[in-house]
Structure formats: structure tokens, C-alpha cells
Amino acid sequence: MAVRCRNATRRRSSRVKMVAPLATCTKDEQRSVIRFLSSEGEKPKEIHRRMKVPYGDACLSLQQVYEWTGKYMNGISSVTDSPRPGQAHPVVTPEVTAAVEAIVKENRRVTVNSSTSGYESWISTSYRP
């Protein structure tokens, strides 16, 4: 009987411990977990408690879990943030990359302010309000 009890406690403790914590994860991955667990009827507080074990310090806050659970319950299905108005859109083209590489090859001590002189045209076109 004692052997059975030890095995049962080992099984329970093995559920909690993870071989490799998921410290390198994206917010989208965590939001997918929130979406899945909330679709199963889990409460936000329980979802956060379950996520703290594998994600550790990289885990979303309890407030964020509540916010995303509410969004999913209201019918939003996307796990990505929606774009905000006025936010700069990054424009990385082969031409811009080549121009920056050329500037750096000329002078390795170049600063951001000095590298933008003469290139205002492609910097100003990369921002769309």
C-alpha cells in the first residue's frame, strides 16, 4: 500500500514540474493558451495560476488574462494586437538596408543622428499616420 501512495504522489508532483520552462515564448502563444482555456470554461484567475507554472516570470499579468478572456468571450478570435492609429509602420526594404550598411561601412562610429542626414526622404516616407 505504501508503494502505491508514493507512486501517486510522484504522479501528482510530476504534473507541476516541467523539464524546461517556457521562458522564451511570445505573447501570442500565451494568448492562444488563454483562448483555449477560456473556451473550456476556465476562470481567468485559474488560467493565470496554471500559466504561472510553465511561463514563470514571462507570464502575462492577471489583469491581461482578464482582459483577453473578456475579449474572447465577446467574440474576438484573434490573438494578435490590433494596429493602433498613428503608430509608425516599419519599412525595411533591400534599398534601405543597403544604404544603412553602406553608411556603417564608411564610418563604424556613425550615430543615428548623423546617419539620417541626406536620407530624410526615405525616413519621412516610412512613417504613415
Taking CA atoms, 20 is separated from 11, 23, 25, 55, 98, in Å, by: 18, 9, 12, 10, 40
Which comes out higher in pLDDT, residue 14 or 44? 44
Q: What percent of the chain has pLDDT over 90?
A: 29
- Bigger pLDDT: 12 vs 76: 76
